[in-house]
């Protein structure tokens, strides 16, 4: 790890001022991505601004909106009674991620900013347009079984690794961000950037801007939600495919639906196409299959991950049928 200066800011304003003044500074929260990538030499900030002492921790609920402090840990949010009762999709996405140790360390703000697990990004000896613009992409012609089939470009097919972010884009979460010019709100669905020609730019956050909290609107009472994660190991593994879904049904008809995908895309992937198929349609397996097909329409698989198209579709169908439960009409034999 390269040497760096370490500072503890007095307050959030000081943290933002210090970061803004130093283009090579980075924030340190749980450290599970930051310290890891600094060891590998992928990140080499000259100053680390340790924000863990700032009062940005805890969960409050007001007027149907959950406000989650950015430094709340994954375990703390998973244990929140309102999350448990009203937003099982969030709880499941948290508890199916990482390990208990990592969930005790990792913060919610940091989770949303975690970097890809792409081996070519993390290995300095490999070509990677995200790490070093213009150097090429080792994954395109290399090992890309885990890589993305949605939101890709000719420059980058690295998958976004977060489970929580998938649940939060499904729920229309909004970030509160503090920068040198003051505070602004960013809907999470508009936060992430697909790689395009600039894979190094992953979101709309400016240098020095600090996520202070996440606003999470509760789903209407009676809406059922869940997170399904498909992976190579039974636990402690990243997703090959995952789906965060929420359904509100009445008399066998879908009134409202939310679908977001993980493990399949370069960003946490909200599928409006799937939601459009579901809304107003009978809550049946035929509808779910049509929604799944719409969600993967336009996918761009490569030879090593072509299986993810069908796996993604099946993940969506299973997630929806599980959430719909006994309300499903024609269960396949």
Q: Is 277 in the site for another protein (CB under 8 A)?
A: no
Binder among 46, 60, 101, 141 for another protein (CB under 8 A): 101
Binder among 1, 24, 65, 154 for another protein (CB under 8 A): 1
Please, which residue, 71 or 219, has the CB nearer to another protein?
71
What's the closest the beta carbon of residue 235 comes to another protein, in angstroms? 4
Residue 320 burial (C-beta neighbours within 10 Å; 0-12, 13-18, 19+): buried
Q: Is 31 in the site for another protein (CB under 8 A)?
A: yes
* Window of 9-17, 45-53, 58-66, 291-299 that interacts with another protein by CB under 8 A: 45-53
Q: Is 56 in the site for another protein (CB under 8 A)?
A: no
Please, which residue, 4 or 256, has the CB nearer to another protein?
4
DSSP state of 58: -
Binders in 200-239 for another protein, by CB under 8 A = 234-236
Binding mask 73-92 for another protein (x = CB under 8 A): --x-----------------
Show the tokens assigned to 40: 């590998």
Q: Is 26 in the site for another protein (CB under 8 A)?
A: no
Residue ranges of alpha helices (H) inside the chain are 12-21, 34-39, 74-78, 81-86, 88-95, 100-105, 108-112, 119-122, 138-141, 164-170, 272-278, 285-296, 307-324
What's the closest the beta carbon of residue 101 comes to another protein, in angstroms? 5
CA distance 96 to 163: 8
DSSP state of 126: S
Q: Are 31 and 109 in contact (CB under 8 A)?
A: no
Residue ranges of alpha helices (H) inside 106-246 are 108-112, 119-122, 138-141, 164-170
Residue ranges of alpha helices (H) inside 113-207 are 119-122, 138-141, 164-170
Please, which residue, 6 or 307, has the CB nearer to another protein?
6
CA distance 295 to 116: 22
Q: Is 100 in the site for another protein (CB under 8 A)?
A: yes
3-state secondary structure of 331: coil
Please, which residue, 104 or 153, has the CB nearer to another protein?
104
Q: Is 10 in the site for another protein (CB under 8 A)?
A: no
CA distance 196 to 11: 36
* Window of 26-34, 198-206, 213-221, 275-283 that interacts with another protein by CB under 8 A: 26-34
Q: Is 104 in the site for another protein (CB under 8 A)?
A: yes
Q: Are 276 and 257 in contact (CB under 8 A)?
A: no
What's the closest the beta carbon of residue 31 comes to another protein, in angstroms? 5
Q: Is 167 in the site for another protein (CB under 8 A)?
A: no
Q: Is 99 in the site for another protein (CB under 8 A)?
A: yes
CA of residue 309 relative to chain centroid, distance: 20
Q: Where along the sequence are the contacts to another protein (CB under 8 A)?
A: 1-6, 28, 31-32, 35-36, 38-40, 48, 50, 52, 75, 98-102, 104-105, 234-236
């Amino acid at each position: 790890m390269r040497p760096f200066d370490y500072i503890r800011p007095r307050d959030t304003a000081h943290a933002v001022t210090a970061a803004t003044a130093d283009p090579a500074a980075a924030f340190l929260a749980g450290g599970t991505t930051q310290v890891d990538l600094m060891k590998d030499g992928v990140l080499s900030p000259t100053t680390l601004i340790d924000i863990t002492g700032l009062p940005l921790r805890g969960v409050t609920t007001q007027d149907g909106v959950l406000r989650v402090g950015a430094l709340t840990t994954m375990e703390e949010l998973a244990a929140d009674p309102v999350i448990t009762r009203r937003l099982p999709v969030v709880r499941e996405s948290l508890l199916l991620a990482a390990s208990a140790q990592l969930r005790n360390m990792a913060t919610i703000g940091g989770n949303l900013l975690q970097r890809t697990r792409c081996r070519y990004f993390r290995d300095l000896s490999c070509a990677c347009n995200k790490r070093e613009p213009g150097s090429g992409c080792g994954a395109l012609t290399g090992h890309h079984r885990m890589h993305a089939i949605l939101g890709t470009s000719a420059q980058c097919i690295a998958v976004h690794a977060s489970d929580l972010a998938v649940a939060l884009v499904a729920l229309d979460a909004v970030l509160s961000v503090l920068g040198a010019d003051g505070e602004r709100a960013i809907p999470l669905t508009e936060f992430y950037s697909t790689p395009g020609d600039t894979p190094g730019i992953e979101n709309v956050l400016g240098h020095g801007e600090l996520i202070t909290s996440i606003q999470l609107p509760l789903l209407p009472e009676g809406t059922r939600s869940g997170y399904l994660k498909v992976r190579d190991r039974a636990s402690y593994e990243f997703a090959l495919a995952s789906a965060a879904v929420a359904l509100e049904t009445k008399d066998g008809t879908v009134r409202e639906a939310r679908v977001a995908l993980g493990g399949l895309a370069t960003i946490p992937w909200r599928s409006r196409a799937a939601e459009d198929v579901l809304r107003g349609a009978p809550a049946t397996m035929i509808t779910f299959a049509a929604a799944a097909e719409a969600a993967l329409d336009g996918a761009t698989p490569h030879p090593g991950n072509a299986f993810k198209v069908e796996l993604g579709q099946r993940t969506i169908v299973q997630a929806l049928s599980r959430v719909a439960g006994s309300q499903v009409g024609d269960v396949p034999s």
